[in-house]
Amino acid sequence: MTALSDFFTEQKRLFTATHPKTVALAEQAKSVWRGGVPMHWMHDWASPVPLYAERAKDATLWDVDGHAYDDFCLGDTPSMFGHGREELQRAIAAQAGQGVGFMLPTRSSLEVGRLLKDRFGLPVWQCATTASDANRAVIRWARAITQRQKILFIDGAYHGMVDDAFVVLKDGQIVHKTGLIGQVADLTQHSVVVPFNDLTALESVLRTGEIAAVMLEPVMTNCGMILPIEGYHERLRALCDETGTLLVYDETHTLSSGFGGYVSEHGLRADVLTVGKAIAGGVPAAVWGVSAEVAARMDAAQAAIGPGSSGIGTTLSGNALAIAGMKAMLSEVMTPDAYAYMQASAETLVAKLRAVIAQHQVPWSVVHVGARAELVFADPAPQTAAEMRHALDPHLLEALHLYLINRGVLIAPFHNMMLISPKTPPEAIDRLVAAVEGFITEYTR
């Protein structure tokens, strides 16, 4: 096995030698952007400096040095249906020429509401600008209509820039996430955390009758991918019904599971559903839908306080541009055919990765839901975030990602997520699999 330090030295040298324009831009950017990047996550890639994107089309991204990358990150989901989609371009350009921000509904907004209702099955919708915003609004409403203060989250979850959700389990205790800077209130007073797939812990917390809502992803996607155990969602639903707790599914990432997202594909029932990122193809937009019962309770709470709920929402939410983006995506891009292709191609990727793992006998596995696959450095794949944290060796992760970047392949930073778009060609899948195999033979042997 190649020594870690030698491996990184060689891969970083290779990157720097082949990316002179990128390196020069990164150097200049230090004078105007904090840390040299407009948003700090852009630092979280394994390359010595972030790539500078020149443009992207379908499932290919080109950097300023002229290298092409097979993009399996797809912006960490917003571009899940491919970059530079003409349907979106047409809709956005047309709306931009007719005004984008009126603080008024447009004809298209009615159509978008109907499309959301038909696709996701919930009858009443609201807009937000990001999935983070949508989740924050939902948490506030859940507390308002249940008159309960606590929200239950799953250990290892990420729901965006949502204060309440910045809690984790550490040695069995609920604590603030490290990195939660400037926090004044003690979140552990009103946020409860249980491990994923732990129905005993879930039941004991819900039976306290203190929980306003459970907010979770149907499949965990942000600490590696963790699938629910058999019967998990059914039991969760039953416990929420028995205890008067709202069940909120965050489908922001699992929208890739199928035409109506994971919840609809698997016949689950949500009281509230939030979706962002890809819903307008990466144009900032998010939505949240509620059941008829929740809508009625919201109306009653609203009647009690009078008109307006200032502070729940932002000026740009539901603006004409976001609506135009959602209309194009929902009606022209996110089609059953697109999903069928994504699903079939993801299955091909999974089968090929598993074959490579078996052939080289590395102790890894591949987890998969819909168009999303995850290479996990453990076999069997973990069922909780605690197990996943143990498996996610940060050095191995960085080494793999850097190796892939140097071979023209992008996967999502932080873990090993690979997302298939309707535009991802079979050859790109083969190149990804070959690069993973190259890493195994060059690095782990």
Q: Which residue is nearest to ligand PMP (CB)?
A: 160
Q: Print the binding letters for residues 134-163 with ligand PMP: x by CB under 6 A, - otherwise.
A: -x----------------------xxx---
Give whichever of 278 and 436 is closer to ligand PMP, judged by the CB atom.
278
Give whichever of 7 and 45 is closer to ligand PMP, judged by the CB atom.
45
Q: Fill in the amino acid letter for 156.
A: G
What does the alpha-carbon distance between residue 328 and residue 321 come to, in Å, rounded to a whole number?
A: 11
Beta carbon of residue 44, minimum distance to ligand PMP (angstroms, whole number):
12
- The DSSP-derived string for 141-206 is HHHHHHT--EEEEETT---SS-GGG-EEEETTEEEEPTT-TT--S-GGGTEEEE-TT-HHHHHHHH
- Which residues, numbered 70-99, are part of the site for ligand PMP (CB under 6 A)? 76
Per CB under 6 A, the segment of 15-23, 48-56, 127-135, 427-435 that binds ligand PMP is 127-135
Give whichever of 128 and 356 is closer to ligand PMP, judged by the CB atom.
128
Does position 132 bind ligand PMP by CB under 6 A? yes
Does position 131 bind ligand PMP by CB under 6 A? yes
Rg from Cα positions in the chain: 22
* Residues sharing a CB contact under 8 Å with residue 315, sequence separation 6 or more, in sequence order: 101, 103
Contact pick of 70, 155, 250, 374 for ligand PMP (by CB under 6 A): 250
Give whichever of 11 and 256 is closer to ligand PMP, judged by the CB atom.
256
Q: Print the binding letters for residues 273-292 with ligand PMP: x by CB under 6 A, - otherwise.
A: ---xx---------------
What does the alpha-carbon distance between residue 175 and residue 131 come to, in Å, rounded to a whole number?
A: 23
Q: Fill in the amino acid letter for 292.
A: A
Does position 256 bind ligand PMP by CB under 6 A? no
* Residues sharing a CB contact under 8 Å with residue 437, sequence separation 6 or more, in sequence order: 356, 360
DSSP state of 356: H
Does position 126 bind ligand PMP by CB under 6 A? no
Buried residues in 37-64 as b, exposed as e (16+ CB within 10 A): beeeebeebbbbbbbbbeebebbbbbbb
Does position 253 bind ligand PMP by CB under 6 A? yes
Total number of residues that touch ligand PMP (CB under 6 A): 15
Give whichever of 277 and 352 is closer to ligand PMP, judged by the CB atom.
277
What does the alpha-carbon distance between residue 431 and residue 427 come to, in Å, rounded to a whole number?
A: 6
Beta carbon of residue 279, minimum distance to ligand PMP (angstroms, whole number):
10
Does position 257 bind ligand PMP by CB under 6 A? no
Give whichever of 16 and 314 is closer to ligand PMP, judged by the CB atom.
314
What does the alpha-carbon distance between residue 212 and residue 147 come to, in Å, rounded to a whole number?
A: 7
Give whichever of 282 and 408 is closer to ligand PMP, judged by the CB atom.
282
Beta carbon of residue 277, minimum distance to ligand PMP (angstroms, whole number):
5
Residues in the chain: 445
For the purposes of burial, counting CB atoms within 10 Å of the CB of 361, is it exposed (0-12), middle (13-18) or buried (19 or more)?
exposed
Give whichever of 137 and 330 is closer to ligand PMP, judged by the CB atom.
137
Q: Which helix (H) or strand (E) is 107 found in, with range?
A: helix 107-120
Per CB under 6 A, the segment of 175-183, 248-256, 349-357, 414-422 that binds ligand PMP is 248-256
Does position 423 bind ligand PMP by CB under 6 A? no
Which parts of this chain interact with ligand PMP (CB under 6 A)? 76, 130-132, 135, 158-160, 217, 222, 250, 252-253, 276-277
